[in-house]
Each structure stands twice: as structure tokens, then as C-alpha cells.
């Protein structure tokens, strides 16, 4: 293998199935030495096995049959015996007395726990005795991602266990099971053509993703699934928008019974453009545009939310630098501006708070943003300011002081962290990288992406975002919300579009999330935003316009990362558009 085709050692931590065919002589020698060290501790490994040095393997007994592997960051302890062609994918946990047959696939982040603690009330849990009945898995078994199998369970030959399942009881051979607790759904032999991960993509199939990593090419099946999904969504788009329209007030709400909002009107326009190629049928295009244009505050150029009684909203008093600190109005600069684009119109007047800000005021504001504690808020401010600058240029209005846009990009480029590719240091034990990555998306959407500039340190961005995308607090089945998935999908798309850094891992993550996303559609109502929580907020699980608009864009991004976006027959043109809105007309420093 020459220098041009050599793969970094870390590649095989996540793609060990490629080791036999693609490792260099030096990498093979290092793996042989690693296996000898394991053998010195009593392990017995068959031919063509691979055990990642990044895996935590601390076993009393380890037996791997031929062509088996343990990927990076897996945690393997106890007495583990596996047959031929067994795979333990990244971040999986296999502990206790575990026996695997031939051809077993254990998905990323899954746990086989072949031991237990006592729970008697006479002593603390940490002093309870350990028990171990063991776990037995038969031949040809597929265990999807984020599955938990408890001690004492036997999984019969040819079973398939859907992602996120918690297996507490034995499964008979050929069972397809999913859920918490896992329940049998059908006999795998009943529908032999529905055994791929895509079977859970649409109602009537399996409810959870079964993907266990990038070891198989699912693009063909996923392409068919996204095409069916798009047809289904397109046929229901008009009705799901109509259910959110109040003819008495002439306004849209996120969902029936919710208050009317400016964003709901913008979301309705975006959904109709994506799926129908036309404005929502409740009004003509010029009527939609006129209602949105009329919402702009003449003094600031921002767009306030409606008052509680549904009347015109009022903005707070400006800060010393003239800026109006109102997060909702800041987002409306994006939402209303892009909705008007889709309607063939534009804002009536400039975004004055951006136009009036001097370079010194801009730099002072950037320096005062909460980069260390609330990176999302800091990124959202940059998103709004840069979008306001774009709208002003669109109207042919010069900024109040020349060079403000150049100053923004100069400040950003000189303050990005070269180790993470991010701005800010908001990482915490409770939220992990949530604020950091979410803030990155908001910041780059309005600046680098909107103006068509390459992001700095793109490979480090991919590293940071992939690490966050594996955080089970935010990316376990049933916990994702649209904000958090979008904030990973868009940076992976943006940073990876001109390179192939960790492409297999990016694709695997996108495949898993895409299959889950397609299954979230609710007939006649669209998508729900997802669980509320830290960093997420949003309208919650109930289907509505915001969740639908965001997930439609997410589905496109994920499908493009997988290579099947053309099957959707739509492409976002609004807030979440992939193409830049304009060129800045200058080169960024660095």
C-alpha cells in the first residue's frame, strides 16, 4: 500500500471490516503484536481477526473465531466466546459470560450485560453480590444499535433485534423483535424481502432502525425508502398545512390549538415550496408576501412576535450599541427573509440594527457574547447579524461603516479553536458538547455557509461533530430532536463537502439517523420536533409545522450524505438551503 492510499490507524478503529484488505504492512505488524499481547493473557483469536487497540479488552476468557473483530472503544470483559464472522462494533459493551454463535452482528453502542447485582435491602448496592447466568446468542443474529440485552437471555438463531430495544426475555429462532421491553413483531421468514434496515422507515414496517454500522451498503434500499417517503409527504402536504391555518384570524399556528406565530407562517411557506413547489393555498403568493412584509418593524428592521392577543408585537428597548436583544425577533430575520425569497419577494426595508452598527460596536458585541457558557446563543447572534448584512446587501444598502462584514469574518477566523474547529469552550459533564456543536451550526449557517466560504479546520470539525453525534444523551432512539440532529447533519455536510475525512463513519451515522427520521412521519400531521430538553426547547413531540420544516431539511441533508438525495425530488431553498445565498465579495483571512 503506497502513501497515497494508506489509511490512518484510527480508520480501522471505526471500520475494522476493511483491515484485512486495506491495512499497510506496518499496520498489520502492529496488529499482530497487539494480538500476541492478548494471547499472552490467555486470549485465542482465529485467522483474519482484528481487535482495535482502542478497545477496552479486559477478559478472563476471550475466544474469537475466524474473521471476527472488535472495533474501537468497545468494552469487553468477563468470559467471552464468539464463533466465526462475529462483529462487535464501535462503543459496544460485552460483559460477563457471553457466548456468540457464527455470524453475529452487535451494533454500535449496544450492551450485552451477562451479569447482575443483587438488590436486597439489607446492604448498599455496591456491596451486593454479583450473579451471572450468562447470555447466549445463536447463529446469524443481527443486534441493532443501542440495544441492551440483560443477563440470562438466550437469543435464538437468525433473530433480528431492532435499534434501542431492551431484551429481557428469550427470543425464539427467526424472531424479529423491537421495543422496550423487546417484543416479537413477526417471524423473519414471513417477509424475506423486509430484512434490511430500511424496513422500519415507513409505517407498517419495523418501528426502529436496525443498522449496526457501515459494514453493509444500504444506499439502494434507502433510496427506495426516501422516494416512498417523499411521495407520501407530498400527497399530504396541503392537508397538513391546512390543519394549521385559522381562517378566522388569517394566521398559521404550529399545530391546531397552538397560538399563531410568525414562524408558523414561514414554516408553511417553506413546506409548501419543498413538497408542492407553490405557496400555501390559503392565500395567493402576493398576499402571503404582503402579510410577511408588513410585520417588519420600521425603526429596527427586525420582526417581532405577535402579541398574546394576536395583534402586532412590540420589541424591547435597544441596548447601548443599538441592538435589540430578542431571540425570537433575531430568528425572524432569517425565517421571514427566506420565506419572502420563496415567494419571489423581499423585505420592505433594511435590517437597521445591522446597518447602524459600527465596526467597533460589532467587535465589542462579538467579544461580549457568552462563548464559554451559552455557545448556542452566541452562534445565533452571529447567524442573525450576518443574515441581516446579507439582506441589506440584497437591498443595495451599504452598512453604516465600511468593512463591518470583513471585520466579522476576520474576528471569527482568528478566534476559532484549531483543535476542535469550533468557537467557544462550552463543554460540560451534564451536556457534553451539545452547546458547542449547536452553536457551531447556528454560527456557520449565517456566516460561512450563507456566504459560500470554506469553514476553517474542516477535518477537526468532522472529528468534533462525530464525537458529539455518538453521545447517547442526545442521539439514542427516542431522545433525538430536530435541533440536535440538524446541528450534526449540517456541519458534517458543510465541512465534508470538499473532502472525505472519516467518510465511512459520516455515512454510517447518516444512514442510522435517516432510517430513524423516515419512521417519524405521522400521516396527515407531519413530523414532531422531538423531545424537549436542554439545548433543544422547541414545541415538543406533537407533529407541527416547525418539526415538519426542520425534519424535511434534515432528511435531505442525511440523504445527501448517504448519496440518495436525488430520490427525494426536493431540495431546501429557504433557511436550511445547502447552497450559499451570495458571495461576500472578499477573501477571508487565514
- Residue 54 has which C-alpha cell? 482502542
The average pLDDT across 382-398 equals 91
From 343, 385, 331, select the one nearest 576 (Cα to Cα): 331
Instruction: Count the alpha carbons within 13 Å of 82 in the hemisphere toward its beta carbon.
Output: 31
Q: What is the pLDDT of residue 500?
A: 80
Alpha helices by DSSP H, listed for 174-293, are 219-242, 262-276, 285-293
375 exposure class (CB count in 10 Å sphere: 0-12, 13-18, 19+):
buried
Those residues with Cβ within 8 angstroms of residue 458's Cβ, 6 or more apart along the chain or in another chain: 421, 495, 496, 498, 499, 501
How far apart, in Å, are the Cα atoms of 245 and each of 242, 252, 255, 256, 259? 5, 5, 9, 8, 11
From 555, 577, 575, select the one nearest 494 (Cα to Cα): 577
Q: What is the pLDDT of residue 587?
A: 44
Helix or strand or coil: residue 186? strand
Catalytic residue selected from 73, 109, 117, 490: 117
The answer to whether the beta carbons of residues 162 and 144 sit under 8 Å apart is yes
What are the φ/ψ torsions at residue 47 (nearest 5 degrees)? Answer: -65, 150
**pLDDT per position as a tens digit, 562-576:** 999 999 999 999 999
Alpha helices by DSSP H, listed for 432-544, are 434-444, 458-469, 472-475, 482-496, 503-518
131 confidence band (pLDDT: 50, 70, 90):
confident
**pLDDT per position as a tens digit, 216-249:** 333 457 888 999 999 999 999 999 999 999 999 9
Other Cβ atoms closer than 10 A to 415: 13
Q: How far apart are CA 380 and CA 582, in angstroms?
A: 19
Q: How far apart are CA 165 and CA 183, in angstroms?
A: 9
- Residue 502 has which C-alpha cell? 472519516
Q: How far apart are CA 206 and CA 172, in angstroms?
A: 18
Entry field: residues in the chain: 590
Q: What is the pLDDT of residue 207?
A: 33
Q: What is the pLDDT of residue 498?
A: 67
To the nearest whole number, what is the mean pLDDT of the chain? 87
Choose the most confident range, by mean pLDDT, from 11-15, 350-354, 472-476, 495-499.
350-354
Gyration radius of the chain's alpha carbons: 26
470 exposure class (CB count in 10 Å sphere: 0-12, 13-18, 19+):
middle
Q: Is the pLDDT of residue 310 over 90?
A: no
Q: What is the pLDDT of residue 223?
A: 87
Q: How far apart are CA 529 and CA 549, in angstroms?
A: 9
118 confidence band (pLDDT: 50, 70, 90):
confident
The average pLDDT across 11-18 equals 89
Q: Specify the residue for cell string 440470562.
A: 152
Q: How far apart are CA 68 and CA 85, in angstroms?
A: 5
From 201, 230, 224, select the one nearest 568 (Cα to Cα): 230
Q: How far apart are CA 395 and CA 340, in angstroms?
A: 13
The average pLDDT across 85-114 equals 94
213 confidence band (pLDDT: 50, 70, 90):
very low
User: b/e map of 265-279 (b: 16 or more CB within 10 Å)?
Assistant: bbbbbbbbbbbeeeb
190 confidence band (pLDDT: 50, 70, 90):
low
How far apart, in Å, are the Cα atoms of 352 and each of 327, 374, 422, 455? 16, 26, 29, 28
Q: What is the pLDDT of residue 212?
A: 34
Q: Is the pLDDT of residue 106 over 90?
A: yes
Q: What is the pLDDT of residue 55?
A: 95
Q: How far apart are CA 157 and CA 341, in angstroms?
A: 56
The average pLDDT across 186-195 equals 58
Q: What is the pLDDT of residue 377?
A: 94
Instruction: Count the alpha carbons within 13 Å of 500 in the hemisphere toward its beta carbon.
Output: 5
The answer to whether the beta carbons of residues 82 and 68 sit under 8 Å apart is yes
Q: Specify the residue for cell string 413477526.
A: 186
Does the active-site annotation cover 332?
A: no
From 370, 359, 361, select the one nearest 321 (Cα to Cα): 361
Q: How far apart are CA 574 and CA 369, in angstroms?
A: 27
89 confidence band (pLDDT: 50, 70, 90):
very high
Q: What is the pLDDT of residue 1?
A: 41
Q: What is the pLDDT of residue 185?
A: 85
Q: Is the pLDDT of residue 30 over 80?
A: yes
58 confidence band (pLDDT: 50, 70, 90):
very high
- Residue 379 has which C-alpha cell? 452562534
Q: How far apart are CA 542 and CA 209, in angstroms?
A: 21
Q: How far apart are CA 477 and CA 218, in angstroms?
A: 19
Q: How far apart are CA 45 and CA 35, in angstroms?
A: 8
Q: Is the pLDDT of residue 419 over 50?
A: yes
The answer to whether the beta carbons of residues 328 and 303 sit under 8 Å apart is no
Ramachandran quadrant class, 301 (left: phi over 0; alpha: psi -120 to 50; beta: rest): left
**pLDDT per position as a tens digit, 140-189:** 999 999 999 999 999 999 999 998 899 999 999 889 999 888 888 888 87
Amino acid at each position: 500500500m503506497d502513501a497515497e492510499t494508506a489509511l490512518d490507524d484510527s480508520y480501522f478503529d471505526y471500520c475494522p471490516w476493511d483491515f484485512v484488505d486495506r491495512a499497510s504492512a506496518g499496520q498489520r505488524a502492529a496488529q499482530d503484536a497487539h494480538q500476541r499481547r492478548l494471547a499472552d493473557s490467555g486470549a485465542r483469536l482465529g485467522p483474519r481477526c482484528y481487535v482495535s487497540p482502542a478497545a477496552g479488552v479486559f477478559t478472563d476468557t476471550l475466544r474469537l473465531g475466524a474473521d471476527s473483530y472488535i472495533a474501537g472503544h468497545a468494552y469487553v470483559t468477563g468470559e467471552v466466546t464468539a464463533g466465526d464472522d462475529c462483529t462487535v462494533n464501535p462503543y459496544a459493551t460485552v460483559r460477563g459470560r457471553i457466548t456468540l454463535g457464527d455470524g453475529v452482528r452487535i451494533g454500535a453502542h449496544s450492551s450485552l450485560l451477562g451479569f447482575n447485582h443483587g438488590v436486597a435491602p439489607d446492604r448498599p448496592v455496591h456491596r451486593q453480590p454479583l450473579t451471572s447466568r450468562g447470555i447466549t446468542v445463536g447463529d446469524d443474529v443481527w443486534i441493532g444499535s443501542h440495544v441492551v440485552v440483560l443477563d440470562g437471555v438466550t437469543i435464538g438463531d437468525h433473530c433480528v433485534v431492532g435499534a434501542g430495544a431492551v431484551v429481557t426475555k428469550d427470543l425464539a429462532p427467526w424472531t424479529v423483535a423491537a421495543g422496550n421491553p423487546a417484543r416479537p413483531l413477526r417471524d423473519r421468514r414471513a417477509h424475506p424481502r423486509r430484512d434490511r434496515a430500511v424496513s422500519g422507515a415507513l409505517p407498517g414496517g419495523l418501528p426502529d432502525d436496525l443498522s449496526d454500522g457501515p459494514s453493509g451498503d444500504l444506499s439502494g434500499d434507502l433510496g427506495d425508502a426516501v422516494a416512498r417517503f417523499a411521495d407520501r409527504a407530498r400527497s399530504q402536504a396541503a392537508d397538513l398545512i391546512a390543519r394549521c391555518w385559522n381562517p378566522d384570524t388569517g394566521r398559521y399556528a404550529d399545530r391546531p390549538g397552538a397560538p399563531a406565530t410568525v414562524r408558523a407562517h414561514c414554516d408553511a411557506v417553506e413546506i409548501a415550496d419543498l413538497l408542492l413547489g407553490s405557496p400555501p393555498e390559503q392565500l395567493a403568493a402576493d398576499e402571503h408576501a404582503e402579510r410577511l412584509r408588513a410585520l417588519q418593524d420600521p425603526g429596527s428592521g427586525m420582526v417581532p412576535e405577535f402579541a398574546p392577543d394576536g395583534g402586532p408585537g412590540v420589541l424591547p428597548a435597544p441596548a447601548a450599541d443599538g441592538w435589540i436583544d430578542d431571540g425570537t425577533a433575531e430568528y425572524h430575520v432569517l425565517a421571514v427573509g427566506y420565506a419572502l425569497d420563496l415567494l419571489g419577494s423581499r423585505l420592505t426595508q433594511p435590517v437597521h440594527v445591522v446597518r447602524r452598527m459600527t465596526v467597533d460596536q460589532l467587535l465589542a458585541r462579538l467579544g461580549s457574547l457568552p462563548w464559554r457558557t451559552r455557545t448556542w446563543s452566541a452562534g445565533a447572534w452571529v447567524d442573525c447579524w450576518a443574515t441581516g448584512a446579507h439582506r441589506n446587501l440584497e437591498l443595495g444598502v451599504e452598512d453604516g461603516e465600511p468593512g463591518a462584514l470583513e471585520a466579522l469574518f476576520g474576528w471569527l477566523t482568528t478566534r476559532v479553536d484549531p483543535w476542535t474547529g469550533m468557537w467557544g469552550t462550552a463543554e460540560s459533564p451534564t451536556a457534553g458538547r451539545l452547546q458547542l456543536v449547536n452553536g457551531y451550526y447556528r454560527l456557520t449557517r449565517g456566516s460561512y455557509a450563507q456566504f459560500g466560504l470554506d469553514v476553517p479546520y474542516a477535518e477537526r470539525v468532522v472529528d468534533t461533530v462525530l464525537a458529539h453525534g455518538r453521545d447517547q444523551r442526545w442521539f439514542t432512539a427516542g431522545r433525538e430532536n430536530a435541533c440536535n440532529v440538524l446541528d450534526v447533519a449540517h456541519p458534517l455536510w458543510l465541512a465534508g463537502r470538499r473532502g472525505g475525512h472519516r467518510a465511512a463513519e459520516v455515512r454510517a451515522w447518516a444512514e442510522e439517523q435517516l432510517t430513524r427520521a423516515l419512521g417519524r412521519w405521522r400521516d396527515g400531521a407531519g413530523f414532531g420536533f422531538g423531545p424537549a430538553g436542554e439545548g433543544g426547547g422547541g414545541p415538543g413531540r406533537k407533529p407541527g409545522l416547525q418539526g415538519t420544516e426542520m425534519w424535511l431539511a434534515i432528511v435531505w441533508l442525511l440523504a445527501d450524505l448517504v448519496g440518495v438525495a436525488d430520490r427525494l425530488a426536493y431540495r431546501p431553498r429557504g433557511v436550511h438551503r445547502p447552497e450559499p445565498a451570495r458571495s461576500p465579495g472578499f477573501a477571508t483571512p487565514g
